[in-house]
Amino acid sequence: MTTASDGPKKLFIKTYGCQMNVYDSQRMAEAMGAEGYVLTEDQSQADMVLLNTCHIREKAAEKLYSDLGRLKPLKAERPDLKIGVAGCVAQAEGDEIIRRMPIVDLVVGPQAYHRLPAMVKKGGGVDTEFPVEDKFEHLPKAPATRRAPAAFLTVQEGCDKFCAFCVVPYTRGAEVSRPVSRILTEARDLVARGVREITLLGQNVNGWHGEGPGGGEWGFGRLIRAIAEIDGLDRIRYTTSHPNDMADDLIEAHGSEQKLMPYLHLPVQSGSDRILKAMNRKHTAEEYLRLIDRIRAARPDIMLTSDFIVGFPGETDEDHRATLKLVEEVGFGTAFSFKYSPRPGTPAYDRPEVESVLADARLQELQALLSRQQKAAQEGMVGRELSVLFEKPGRNDGQMVGKSDYLHAVFVEAPEAKVGDLVRVRITHSAANSLAGELLAA
Ligand code: 5AD
Ligand code: SF4
């Protein structure tokens, strides 16, 4: 019989979905760490299993129930095993989850996870409240352990844009920006623990705004410049953005701030004005293209990435061709494309759907085009001199792997190097999903 071993209690976390969930899982692990829990990679050894869920598409949400089904035998063997569901499915479905899957002990929404330790002590429950205060302030401070060289930092949460297909405004709530001082304190703390690259996170991160230390309103560009002043921090990235919040000061920061990496994820979703309107995106394809021109004028070597939805209700072949045309015009470094998934509670939910096989065919066509562009962008790196931040040893002896300025994984022979080194590399080779490079003299 499998039993959790003696010693500290073990917590197993499975994270689904976006980078914000990755960050949240880390903060929940720290909160539970203060209660004496240590992380385990082995679910069968855990005293508590926490599933941090995603609700963005139906498939993502259904994964939770198949994983819970697989946990049933473990719970039957060890009734004291605590099972928790966190994240956006928790928010959307609340106690319905426990009704459908009685093996679940607790359900905690993304705005309530600072109360997770108290819930665990109580033995379970459901908490999907939206607190008005900054939940991050109520989490115990992380122990001063060393961190991997690249880290996430949530600066903004929630979304007020209400795109017609999207659950985020309902699961994550209204837009909230964290205050400047708290962001700077967390960034400095990360750097003190060995972090050299920070990715600022938010569902609508470039909509971040806040009061500066000397009063006066700061926009996201100003925040980036303040973070860039931290000694020991070398790279800044951010994700994910809305085209309508690309303010002038942010575009300018892409030109002037060397620590801001030449990489921008800017979802457009569709290239058809009719569909953009039906999606409530509040911009046209032309406005997006002109915005890209301005961003490229500020930072000519920037790599652009995006998100697309195909088969949105009402999408015709002509709309689809407009999307392909926009992709041809921009030339993306990489992009995520999804088949539309109707989500309960969203404005588009009841609209007549595009025939499934048609949507599948469009998705294939779009993905083929995007893969060609991705391959071309990657091959275009060969011969270039880039910086690489080493994140872990590679498969072969003496090899390290890290990320380039453009977020490509790069393998480098570097027997003397250690994790956290930021080196100059000449790219020599492009493979399926990674690059190879050789060290240049420092
Ligand atoms: N169906 C398909 N894709 C969706 N996305 C958001 N909601 C849906 C949906 N209902 C995609 C969008 C968004 C990304 C995070 O997920 O492209 O930018
Ligand atoms: Fe969802 Fe992004 Fe639209 Fe907000 S801006 S509703 S998070 S797709």
**Residue 2 is assigned to a structural domain of this protein:** no
CA distance 191 to 171: 31
* 314 and 351 Cβ atoms separated by less than 8 Å: yes
Report the binding-site residues for [4Fe-4S] cluster: 18, 54, 88, 159, 163, 166
pLDDT 10s digits, 2-54:
455 568 999 999 999 999 999 999 999 989 998 899 999 999 999 999 999 99
**Residue 239 is assigned to a structural domain of this protein:** yes
Ligand nearest to the CA of 171: 2
**Residue 150 is assigned to a structural domain of this protein:** yes
pLDDT 10s digits, 150-192:
999 999 999 999 999 999 999 999 999 999 999 999 999 999 9
Q: Which amino acid is at 146?
A: R
Question: In the structure, what pLDDT confidence band is assigned to residue 113 with cuts at 50, 70 and 90?
Answer: confident
336 lines ligand 2 (CB under 6 A): no
pLDDT number for residue 142: 61
Regarding whether 178 and 143 lie in a shared domain, the answer is yes
Q: Is the pLDDT of residue 135 over 80?
A: no
Q: Is the pLDDT of residue 353 over 60?
A: yes
Q: Ligand 1 center to residue 234 CA distance, Å?
A: 32
Regarding whether 318 and 265 lie in a shared domain, the answer is yes
87 lines ligand 2 (CB under 6 A): no
Regarding whether 427 and 359 lie in a shared domain, the answer is no
Residue from 56, 266, 354 to probe ligand 1 pocket by mutation (most atoms less than 8 Å from CB): 56
Last-in-domain residue among 72, 96, 127? 127
pLDDT 10s digits, 356-410:
999 999 999 999 999 999 999 999 999 999 999 999 999 999 999 999 999 999 9
Regarding whether 112 and 41 lie in a shared domain, the answer is yes
* CATH code for the domain of 113: 3.40.50.12160
* CATH code for the domain of 146: 3.80.30.20
> What's this model's pTM, rounded to 2 decimal places?
0.94
Residue minimizing CA distance to atom 1 of ligand 2 = 166
pLDDT number for residue 147: 83
* CATH code for the domain of 422: 2.40.50.140
Last-in-domain residue among 94, 109, 127? 127
Regarding whether 291 and 333 lie in a shared domain, the answer is yes
Regarding whether 122 and 153 lie in a shared domain, the answer is no
**Residue 38 is assigned to a structural domain of this protein:** yes
Local structure of residue 289 (DSSP, 8 states):
H
Percent of the chain topping pLDDT 70: 96
Which residues does 377 contact at the CB level (< 8 Å), separation at least 6? 303, 331, 332, 333, 334, 406
Regarding whether 425 and 341 lie in a shared domain, the answer is no
Regarding whether 410 and 311 lie in a shared domain, the answer is no
Q: Is the pLDDT of residue 143 over 70?
A: no
CA distance 180 to 178: 7
pLDDT number for residue 61: 84
Q: Which of 120-124, 215-219, 418-422 has the lowest mean pLDDT?
A: 120-124
pLDDT 10s digits, 43-97:
999 999 999 999 999 988 889 999 999 999 999 999 999 999 999 999 999 999 9
159 lines ligand 2 (CB under 6 A): yes
Please tell me the total count of domains within the chain: 3
pLDDT number for residue 334: 96
Regarding whether 353 and 271 lie in a shared domain, the answer is yes
Regarding whether 391 and 272 lie in a shared domain, the answer is no
pLDDT number for residue 144: 67
pLDDT number for residue 215: 87
Regarding whether 288 and 164 lie in a shared domain, the answer is yes
pLDDT 10s digits, 240-282:
999 999 999 999 999 999 999 999 999 999 999 999 999 999 9
Strands (E), 16-127: 37-39, 48-53, 82-86, 106-108, 125-127
Q: Ligand 2 center to residue 306 CA distance, Å?
A: 13
Which residues does 299 contact at the CB level (< 8 Å), separation at least 6? 254, 255, 262
Give the structural domain span for 414: 385-439
Percent of the chain topping pLDDT 90: 87
Last-in-domain residue among 92, 127, 162? 127
pLDDT number for residue 293: 98
| Region for 402 from its dihedrals, namely left if φ exceeds 0, alpha if ψ lies in -120 to 50, beta otherwise | beta
**Residue 253 is assigned to a structural domain of this protein:** yes
- What sign has the CA pseudo-torsion 54, 55, 56, 61? positive
168 lines ligand 2 (CB under 6 A): yes
Regarding whether 204 and 109 lie in a shared domain, the answer is no
**Residue 190 is assigned to a structural domain of this protein:** yes
